[in-house]
Amino acid sequence: MNSPRQTASALRSSAASTTPEYSRAERLLLLRVAHDSILSALEDRPTSTEPPTPHLAQPRGAFTTLYLRGELRGCVGYVLPANSVYRAVIETARAAAFSDTRFYPVTHQEAAQLEIELSILSPPKLIRPEDVQVGRDGLLISSHTCRGLLLPQVPIEHGWDRITFLEQTCRKAGLPLEAWKGDATIEAFTAEIFGDRELTRHANVS
């Protein structure tokens, strides 16, 4: 099984031919906001959740992953676009630092050493089963009151093909494995992944 960082690298590679939605300046801004949201919570000072641009005010799902000395230190997010991408980054960064129950809360000393990686998700859109692409798509399958969701990195981590990915998303929803062949609704979303390490490396090269 791949580590979270290896999985993210695989997703970046599979999307290399796709034009990024977020510019380098926007990525740097969102990463700074993520870091500051953690520090401001530790220092008990306010931080604004008001998006600085119309683009960053658009609703998106987001996940924030924290690394400390190369090891996973927290990961929290939500898929559905309930808030602006700007606010989503602030909220998921704080949740990853202080509310991931797998880890104790991040300390002030650790905060200065954290590496952050952000996954910004596109809004889910209807997709035909034959058009699902492993390594690009996350899936949301629903039928009546049942709903299951798997992120784009999940089939990569487990080595699933397209059919298995569809079946396992149905399983996550509590539906029969072949429900995707029937009247279940299938939606897909993508993830744009970037982090401190990637942007720092590019800055050093330029």
- Judged against a pLDDT cut of 80, whether residue 161 lies above it is answered with yes
Segment 30-49, tens digit of pLDDT:
999 999 999 999 999 998 99
- Judged against a pLDDT cut of 80, whether residue 118 lies above it is answered with yes
Number of domains in the chain: 2
Structure token pair of residue 23: 């510019």
Same domain, 93 and 34: yes
Amino acid at 22: Y
Domain encompassing residue 113? 4-122+191-205
Contact 118, 90 (CB under 8 A): no
Structure token pair of residue 151: 């992120």
Q: Identify the CA nearest to 118 among candidates 12, 3, 13.
A: 12
Pick the more confident residue, 4 or 194: 194
SS3 call for 202:
helix
Contact 116, 196 (CB under 8 A): yes
Report pTM: 0.75
Same domain, 201 and 133: no
Segment 64-117, tens digit of pLDDT:
999 999 899 999 988 888 899 999 999 999 999 999 999 999 999 999 999 999
Helix or strand run (H / E) with residue 89 = helix 85-98
Same domain, 89 and 27: yes
Q: What is the DSSP code (8-state) at residue 22?
A: S
Q: Mean pLDDT over all residues of the chain?
A: 88
Same domain, 75 and 169: no
Same domain, 13 and 111: yes
Same domain, 58 and 154: no
Q: For residue 116, what is the domain's CATH number?
A: 3.30.700.20
Residue 193: what pLDDT? Answer: 87
Same domain, 115 and 145: no
- Judged against a pLDDT cut of 60, whether residue 11 lies above it is answered with no
Give residue 18's pLDDT band: very low, low, confident or very high (50, 70, 90).
low
Same domain, 155 and 60: no
Q: For residue 158, what is the domain's CATH number?
A: 3.30.1490.150
Same domain, 196 and 100: yes
Same domain, 58 and 151: no
Pick the more confident residue, 27 or 5: 27
Same domain, 22 and 83: yes
Residue 151: what pLDDT? Answer: 82
